[in-house]
Amino acid sequence: MSRFSQVKLDVEEVRNQADLRTYLSHVARRHVTLELSTEDFETQLEREFGLAPFTLRGELQGLDTLLRRAKDAHAVVISKVESLGDFRVACATSLATHR
């Protein structure tokens, strides 16, 4: 992290908070992989809800296929939207007309 310069982002308006959150999500997606195994998720739930270790082991395995399908479907839709050209301008224009 030492090779990056820090920038303080002040958000004065509520609507700008959403813009900032969107921007930071975009930056994070480019630099962070959010792959979480079912085992890791089970461990996280055990900690969060104060369950004994290995209580959930294997209980969420059935969700793995469904989550992967949902992620694949999301990727297909995103790639189609991105292929439309400058979709960010279209979205910004659409949002501006609805405010």
Res 34: pLDDT: 65
In the predicted model, is pLDDT for residue 54 greater than 80?
yes
Question: pLDDT of 61-98, one tens digit each?
Answer: 888 888 888 989 998 988 888 787 776 777 777 666 66
Of the two residues 3 and 65, the one the predictor is more confident about is 65
Query: pLDDT band for position 50 (50/70/90)?
Result: very high
Three-state helix/strand/coil letters over the chain: CCCCCCCCCCCCCHHHHHHHHHHHHHHHHHHCCCCCCHHHHHHHHHHHCCCCCCCCCCCCHHHHHHHHHHHHHHHHHHHHHHCCCCHHHHHHHHHHHCC
pTM above 0.85, yes or no: no
